């Protein structure tokens, strides 16, 4: 029995343990920790592993050290499915090895900004966490090709992988990854500056289920690589090419002819793209919903007209301010931007057949008060 006569309160007498556990399952991590301090009975129920299937420690990031992660893993064990350690810079390889050993049913793991981790963490995940589907390694700058080889061997169910700003990754790592993880649906490679067209060729050969690809600031990529991706990944719905300054209309042509499901295209700072490429894209990709054309300096009103005619689902379009400032622009009055005090926001209300095309610039982050301490709430089991 969980309850003894000494600590049994009225609610404990009226409600069975199973119902209390069910109630606790709806509480967030802070509330659970507070409930654990009410009584011995509630401590046992609140810290029951079944209540800790999804944990986000971002708000506690300054307090989270390795021992906290180890304690969580020992307490939650096989119950834990989703863990976010985003921004927890105090967490390293040793604690994540313990975590991997204890939480073998983990499916979703966010290590964004955990700058202490190295390839050793990926080896641990590969060895113990075969059910992993979602892995975020953003800004884990010590990660190398060896990590990708390990992941490909032990995490073959992976569907989402974020390697943004892991700038030691090369084509060899990508090849090893995609040979083992052929079910990838989303691959984010922002800031992987060593990647060249050959890396995209490997993705084309093995990742036919790919839906989302981010190549922002992969400045060595050329049309050849994009053409290969388009020919092998026909299900592509979201593609970011911003900062790939070598691209020309050949890339847009490949997208138009091979990726009819495309919904999001970000091509900021691709200054060689012209109206001809965007016209072909608009006429073939009718599901486009969002585009970023910042600093595409060669496009004119013609591109916007083609998009308005052929892409009725388009809702967000970045970069129009460049056209609005061009002398001799023939844009109708309704296209003129309106500025608001919060950040930068332009509304284009009357563009038929678009109902709500808009550009929003997010200029500030919501304020956060002091993060509550978590170390005292998570004693070792």
pLDDT digits (tens, 9 = 90+) for 32-48: 667 766 777 777 776 67
pLDDT of residue 331: 45
Length of the chain in terms of residues written: 381
Residue with tokens 């608009």: 282
pLDDT of residue 34: 73
pLDDT of residue 166: 98
What confidence tier does 12 reach under pLDDT thresholds 50, 70, 90? low
pLDDT digits (tens, 9 = 90+) for 150-177: 999 999 999 999 999 999 999 999 999 9
pLDDT digits (tens, 9 = 90+) for 61-117: 778 899 999 998 998 889 999 999 999 999 999 999 999 999 999 999 999 999 999
The candidate with the shortest Cα–Cα distance to 76, out of 123, 29, 136, is: 29
Q: Which domains does the chain have, with CATH numbers?
A: 1-51 (1.20.1280), 52-319 (3.80.10.10)
**Range in 58-62, 73-77, 309-313 the model is least confident about:** 58-62
What confidence tier does 320 reach under pLDDT thresholds 50, 70, 90? low
pLDDT mean across residues, the chain: 83
pLDDT mean over 347-375? 38
Rounded to two decimals, the pTM is: 0.81
């Amino acid at each position: 029995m969980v309850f003894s006569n000494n600590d049994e309160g009225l609610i404990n007498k009226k409600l069975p343990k199973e119902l209390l556990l069910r109630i606790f399952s709806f509480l967030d991590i802070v509330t659970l920790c507070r409930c654990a301090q009410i009584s011995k009975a509630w401590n046992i129920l609140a810290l029951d592993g079944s209540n800790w299937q999804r944990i986000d420690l971002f708000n506690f990031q300054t307090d989270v050290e390795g021992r906290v992660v180890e304690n969580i893993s020992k307490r939650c064990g096989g119950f834990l499915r989703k863990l976010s350690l985003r921004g927890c810079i105090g967490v390293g390889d040793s604690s994540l090895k313990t975590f991997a050993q204890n939480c073998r049913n983990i499916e979703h793991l966010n290590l964004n900004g955990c700058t202490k981790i190295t390839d050793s963490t990926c080896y641990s995940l590969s060895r113990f966490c075969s059910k992993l589907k979602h892995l975020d390694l953003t800004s884990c700058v010590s990660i190398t090709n060896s990590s990708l080889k390990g992941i490909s061997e032990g995490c073959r169910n992976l569907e989402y992988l974020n390697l943004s700003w892991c700038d030691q990754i090369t084509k060899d790592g990508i090849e090893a990854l995609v040979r083992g993880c052929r079910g990838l649906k989303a691959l984010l490679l922002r800031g992987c500056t060593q990647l060249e067209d050959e890396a995209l060729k490997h993705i084309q050969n093995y990742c036919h289920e790919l839906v989302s690809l981010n190549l922002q600031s992969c400045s060595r990529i050329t049309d050849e690589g994009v053409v290969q991706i388009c020919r092998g990944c026909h299900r592509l719905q979201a593609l970011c090419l911003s900062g790939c300054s070598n691209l020309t209309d050949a890339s847009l042509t490949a997208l138009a002819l091979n990726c009819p499901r495309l919904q999001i295209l970000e091509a900021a700072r691709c200054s060689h793209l012209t109206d001809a490429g965007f016209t072909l894209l608009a006429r073939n990709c009718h599901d486009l919903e969002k585009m970023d054309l910042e600093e595409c300096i060669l496009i004119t009103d013609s591109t916007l007209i083609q998009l308005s005619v052929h892409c009725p689902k388009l809702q967000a379009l970045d970069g129009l301010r460049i056209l609005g400032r061009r002398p001799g622009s023939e844009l109708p009055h309704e296209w003129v931007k309106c500025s608001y005090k919060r950040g930068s926001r332009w509304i284009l209300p009357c563009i038929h057949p678009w109902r709500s095309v808009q550009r929003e610039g997010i200029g500030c982050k919501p304020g956060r008060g002091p993060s509550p301490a978590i170390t005292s709430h998570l004693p070792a089991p």
